[in-house]
Amino acid sequence: MRDSDFGKLLDEVLKERAEIEPRVEMERRILERMRSASREPVRWWMPAGAFAAMVIAAILLMNGSRRPEPVIVNAPRVEHPSRHDATKAAGVKEPEAHAEAARVVRHVVSNKTHPAQVAEERMPKLDTFPAMTQKGSLLSGWQSGGAPTTPSSEAAAQALKALKAEQERPLQMDAIEIKPL
């Protein structure tokens, strides 16, 4: 078969298929359907329902995404243990401003993710630079090799003596015992 013959045959077959006719009175059926559709009552509840569903979904989402507020529990104020004890042992009274600065207020922050998170507050700013305590001046004198410069307090002198004796005492180590298995 020649190309032109095949082309002609193909065109005929395609035309035959392309000229297919719809069933009779299709236009009438379409227009009747239009009229019946336009007579249908407006379903007002459909958009209203969709809007309500959107609002509910938005509320649920907002509640779900909000993180719980951390509950801050204020613990009673606790003075710094090391500094307080050392001062007590030496019998030296610290200046009031310095003692205030040594206090630390601890907040226990309760959170789901970090249940035992503890935050320390910053030290309060002092108006005047704290003066050296009596114990401090004693220690600085001993460090420089000399005798205590201002042994005004008997307790301070005794504490210094005890410290020196402790340093000069030879180390005593217990014998290593290895217990049988």
Partner 1 sequence: MEVAAEWSEYARKGRAALKDRDLAAEDEFAALVERNVRRMFRVAYSLLRNSHDAEDAVQEAFLKLHRSGGWRRMEDERAFLARTVWRVALNRVGSRETEEDAAEMEIAAGGESPEEWAAGGDERELLRQMIDRLPEELRRPLVLSAIEGMTSGEVAAVMGIPEGTVRTRVMRAKTELRKRFEAAREVRR
Binding site for partner 1 (CB under 8 A): 1, 3, 6-7, 9-23, 26-27, 29-31, 33-34, 37-38
Q: How far is the CB of 16 from partner 1 (least distance, A)?
A: 8
For partner 1, give the closer residue by CB, 13 or 59.
13
Q: CA-to-CA distance for 164 and 168, rounded, in angstroms?
A: 6
Q: How far is the CB of 28 from partner 1 (least distance, A)?
A: 9
Phi/psi of residue 50, nearest 5 degrees: -65, -40
For partner 1, give the closer residue by CB, 7 or 124.
7
For partner 1, give the closer residue by CB, 37 or 62.
37
Q: How far is the CB of 109 from partner 1 (least distance, A)?
A: 55
For partner 1, give the closer residue by CB, 10 or 155.
10
CA distances, 75 to each of 5, 102, 108, 132, 142 (Å): 101, 17, 7, 31, 40
For partner 1, give the closer residue by CB, 8 or 164.
8
Specify whether the CB–CB gap between 156 and 148 falls below 8 A: yes
CA distances, 10 to each of 6, 17, 44 (Å): 6, 11, 54
Q: CA-to-CA distance for 152 and 145, rounded, in angstroms?
A: 19
Burial class for 151, CB neighbours closer than 10 Å (0-12, 13-18, 19+): middle
Q: How far is the CB of 46 from partner 1 (least distance, A)?
A: 14
Q: How far is the CB of 24 from partner 1 (least distance, A)?
A: 11
